Amino acid sequence: MTISEVSRKFDLSQDTLRYYERIGLIPEVNRTKSGIRDYTEESCRWIELAKCMRLSGVPIETLIEYCALTQQGDLTITTRKELLVEVHKKLVKRMEDTQKTLDRLNYKIDRYEKAEVTGVLSWDK
């Protein structure tokens, strides 16, 4: 796939794809004889992982480290797993914090909706 096709597929700019490759977030992409990037299914899997993790707030540095470890082979399996476990813990914590915020917002919205009907809003916390 060309960079424009991959850009459309993953809704990432071509500059972002080049940047991800340059910093090692995705392994080096194959090139045609004329030097045009030729993304494979494997390249696309890396891009999909990067996009998913970035949308979840995983730092680029963590993803670069994961990519580098993966390229080193099976001797890094335990290290990779430990890295992902840490990412998992942070995401679970963030989800819990987000759920608390959502619960609070739902509570406040419910109070305002009741106040709209009754015309009375009791003490607001």
8-53 residue pLDDT tens: 999 999 999 999 999 999 888 999 999 999 999 999 999 999 999 9
Block residue for tokens 């194959």: 30
| Residue type for position 70 | T
Q: Say how far apart CA 64 and CA 80 lie, in whole Å.
A: 12
Check: CB of residue 115 under 8 Å from CB of residue 124: no
Predicted local confidence at residue 123, as pLDDT: 72
| Residue type for position 5 | E
pLDDT confidence tier of residue 94, bands split at 50, 70 and 90: very high
Q: Across the chain, which distance is largest between two alpha carbons, in Å?
A: 73
Q: Say how far apart CA 5 and CA 28 lie, in whole Å.
A: 17
- For residue 6, give Cα distances in angstroms to 9, 45, 84, 99: 5, 11, 26, 34
Q: Write the Ramachandran bin of 35: left for phi over 0, alpha for psi from -120 to 50, otherwise beta.
A: left
Predicted local confidence at residue 19, as pLDDT: 95
Mean pLDDT of the chain: 94
Query: What tokens does 30 get?
Result: 């194959």
Q: Say how far apart CA 20 and CA 90 lie, in whole Å.
A: 23
Predicted local confidence at residue 125, as pLDDT: 60
